[in-house]
C-alpha cells in the first residue's frame, strides 16, 4: 500500500541524488525533460500521441516534446496573464514580460502550428475546450499546492488507461511535492521521481 511516508522517502532520496550531481543545475534546465524521455521509451514510436501541456511559457518544452515524440496533436494551455497567486511565486513574471514570452513561444513553435491547439486560459477554465482522451499530460503551471493538485485531479480523467501524467519542479517547489504525495496516496498510482520531474503511469496501480 502506498503511503505518504513512502512517497516522502522517495522524494528525499530524489533530492539527495540531485544534490550529489555536480551538473545538477545544467541537468535541471536541459531538454528533453525526463518525462519526455520516459514517454519516448514507454510509447510505441509508431503511435501518434495526443498531448496536453499546462504552462507553456516560452515554448521550449513544447518544442522538445514535438521534436522528440510522434505528436498528432498538442494542447498548449497558458493564460499568459499576471494574477496575484502566480505573482507571489514568480515575482519577475510581469504582464509585459508574459506578453513577450507568448510571442516568443508562438514564433518558436510556428513550424508545428498544424499540430497545436493554443488555449489561452487558466487550466481550470481550459478543460471545457478539450473533448478527447489523451496519451500524455505535462503539468508545469502554477506551482502552488492548490493549483498543482487541481491540475492533477481535473486532468487525470482525460488520460487514457495507458497514459502518462507528469510534471516539472518536483524538487524546487514544495507545493508540487506535496500535491504529488497527496495524489499518489489518493489514487494508488506509484510515482516515478527523477531529479527534475514526477511521472505517473495510469496502469501502474499498486495491489
Q: What pLDDT score does 155 carry?
A: 98
Amino acid 24: pLDDT: 46
Do residues 163 and 134 touch, judged by C-beta distance below 8 A?
A: yes
For the sheet containing 192-193, what is the strand order?
116-119, 71-77, 49-54, 134-139, 159-168, 197-201, 192-193
| CA quadruple 105, 169, 52, 123: dihedral sign | negative
The whole-number pLDDT of residue 17 equals 52
User: What pTM, to 2 d.p., does this model score?
Assistant: 0.84
Looking at domain 4-75+85-111+122-155+162-188, its CATH architecture is 3-Layer(aba) Sandwich (3.40)
The residues, any chain, with a CB within 8 Å of residue 33's CB and separated by 6 or more, are 61, 64, 168, 196, 197
**Nearest partner of 162 among 50, 33, 64, judged by Cα:** 50
Q: Cα–Cα distance between 156 and 143 in angstroms, integer?
A: 17
**What's the pLDDT at 20?**
46
SS3 label, residue 174:
helix
Q: Which residue ranges of the chain lie beneath pLDDT 70?
A: 1-29, 84-93, 204-207
What pLDDT is recorded for position 80?
95
Q: What is the pLDDT of residue 23?
A: 43
pLDDT the model gives residue 203: 78
Residue-level pLDDT at 8: 62
Is there a contact between 74 and 43 (Cβ–Cβ < 8 Å)? Answer: no
Amino acid at each position: 500500500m502506498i503511503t505518504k511516508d513512502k512517497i516522502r522517502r522517495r522524494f528525499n532520496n530524489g533530492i539527495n541524488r540531485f544534490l550529489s550531481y555536480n551538473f545538477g543545475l545544467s541537468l535541471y534546465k536541459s531538454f528533453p525533460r525526463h518525462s519526455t524521455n520516459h514517454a519516448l521509451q514507454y510509447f510505441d514510436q509508431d503511435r501518434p500521441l495526443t498531448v496536453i501541456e499546462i504552462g507553456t511559457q516560452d515554448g521550449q518544452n513544447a518544442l522538445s516534446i514535438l521534436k522528440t515524440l510522434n505528436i498528432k496533436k498538442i494542447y498548449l494551455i497558458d493564460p499568459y496573464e499576471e494574477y496575484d497567486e502566480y505573482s507571489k511565486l514568480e515575482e519577475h513574471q510581469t504582464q509585459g514580460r508574459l506578453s513577450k514570452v507568448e510571442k516568443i513561444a508562438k514564433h518558436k513553435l510556428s513550424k508545428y502550428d498544424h499540430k497545436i491547439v493554443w488555449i489561452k486560459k487558466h487550466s481550470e477554465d481550459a478543460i471545457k475546450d478539450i473533448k478527447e482522451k489523451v496519451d500524455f499530460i505535462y503539468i508545469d503551471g502554477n506551482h502552488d499546492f492548490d493549483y498543482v493538485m487541481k491540475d492533477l485531479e481535473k486532468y487525470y480523467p482525460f488520460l487514457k488507461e495507458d497514459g502518462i501524467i507528469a510534471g516539472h519542479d518536483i524538487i524546487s517547489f514544495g507545493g508540487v511535492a506535496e500535491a504529488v504525495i497527496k495524489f499518489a496516496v489518493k489514487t494508488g498510482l506509484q510515482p516515478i521521481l527523477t531529479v527534475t520531474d514526477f511521472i505517473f503511469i495510469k496502469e501502474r496501480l499498486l495491489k
